[in-house]
Amino acid sequence: MRVVSSKPEVSIVIPVYNEEAGLANLFGRLYPAMDKLDLPYEVIFVNDGSRDGSVSILAEQYRKRPDVTRVVLFNGNYGQHMAILAGFEQTRGEIVITLDADLQNPPEEVHKLIEKMREGYDYVGSIRRKRQDSAWRTIASKAMNRLRERITNIHITDQGNMLRAYGRNVIDLVNQCGEVNTFVPALTYKFARRPTEIVVEHEERAAGESKYSLYSLIRLNFDLMTGFSLVPLQMFSLLGMTMSLLSALLVLTLLVRRLIFGAEADGVFTLFAVAFFFMGVILFGIGLVGEYVGRIYQQVRARPRYVVAAVLQGLPDEQLDAEGEKRKVVR
C-alpha cells in the first residue's frame, strides 16, 4: 500500500450532482491517472445534494481508497460553484485542481496543469482545444465570454471550462470570502498573482445529462457579470441620462409644434410608441438594479452559505500528522 503523506501536494476538487451513471468511469480513470504521477494527492468529492445513488457510490469509493479520498456531503443543492468552494475549504494541497464529474475534463490532462504550476504560476486556466458541447451552448458561451471580457477586468479565454489549477495562496484568499453568488474561476483570478493558461482536451459527457438548464445558465451568467463588474449598472444610469435628455427635447419640440399648429391628434400613436419604449427601458433598469440589491440582501443577511451535513474523512489533521510521521519512520 502507498504511504500516506500527511500533507498531499495536489488536491482535486470535484462537485457531484446526480452523477451516478458516470462516477464509476470517473474513478476508473482518475485514480490510475493520479497514482501514475507518484505524488501525494487527495481527491475531495462534494456531493451537491444529489437525489440519485451518487452518495452511496461516493461512500463506497471512500471505503476503497480512504487514504486519498474525502467526501463532503451537502444537505441540499447549492450549485456547482458553492460545492467547489466547500471543497476548497477542505483542501490541504499546495496545488488545488478543479474538475467536472462527468469526464468532460479528461483526468489524464491533470499532469499538464501540475507541470505548468511548477513553473511558478499560481493560476493555470485551460482552453478546450475542441469543445464537445451542443452548438447552441458553444455559441452562447462564446458570446458571454466576449461580453465578460469587455465589462470586467478578468481575462479568461474559456470561462466555462472548469479544469483549472490554483495555488495555495489563491485558495486561502478565496476561503476568506463570504460570497454567496459567485463564479469560481473569476474569483480565483482576482487573487492570482501570476495567471496563465494552457490548451487541454475536452470530451463529450460520458454519462447522464447536463445539470444546467437554460435558466440556470442565465443565472450563472448574471452571477458572473454582476459579481465582478458594475458596468451593467453604470451603463443604465448613462443610458437613462441620455434618454431623459432626448425625451426632454422631444417634449419641447411637441410643445412648440402645439403652439404653432394647434392640436395634432395624428401624433398620438408615435407618443404611445415612445412611452412604451421608455416603460420597457425602465422596467429592465429596475430589474438590473434588483440584481445587485438582491445580492446585497443575501450578503448582509450573513447566513451560513451552506450547511455541510457530514464530512467523510480519515483522521483529524493532528492525528493524521502524527500517523504520517509514524508511517514515515516505519518505511
Q: Is 128 in the site for ligand UDP (CB under 6 A)?
A: no
**Residue 161: Cβ within 10 Å count:** 22
Residue 223: contacted member of ligand UDP, Mg ion, none (CB under 5 to 8 Å, by partner type): none
Least Å distance, CB 115 to Mg ion, is 24
Q: Where in 78-117 is the site for Mg ion (CB under 5 A)?
A: 100, 102, 104
Q: Edge-to-edge strand order for the sheet containing 164-167? A: 195-200, 123-128, 164-167, 95-98, 10-16, 41-47, 69-74, 308-312
Q: Which three cell numbers stand for residue 276?
A: 412604451
The answer for residues whose C-beta is within 8 angstroms of residue 252's C-beta and 6 or more apart is: none
- Residues 184-223 as x/- pattern, contact with ligand UDP by CB under 6 A: --------------------------xxx-----------
Shortest Å distance, C-beta 195 to ligand UDP: 22
- 123 three-class SS: strand
Between 67 and 133, name the residue whose CB sits nearer to ligand UDP.
Answer: 133
Binders of ligand UDP among 86-125, rule CB under 6 A?
100-102, 104
Select 57 or 83, whichever has its Cβ closest to ligand UDP. Answer: 83
β-bridge pairing 41-47 and 10-16: parallel
Q: Which of residues 51-90 bind ligand UDP (CB under 6 A)?
A: 77, 79-80, 83
Closer to Mg ion by Cβ: residue 5 or 104: 104
Under DSSP, is residue 166 helix (H, G, I), strand (E, B) or coil?
A: strand
Residue 69 found at the interface with Mg ion (CB under 5 A): no
Residue nearer to ligand UDP on the CB measure, 214 or 275: 214
**3-class DSSP assignment, residue 297:** helix
Cα dihedral 303/306/310/312 (nearest 10): -130
Which residue ranges make up the site for ligand UDP (CB under 6 A)? 15-17, 19, 48, 77, 79-80, 83, 100-102, 104, 210-212
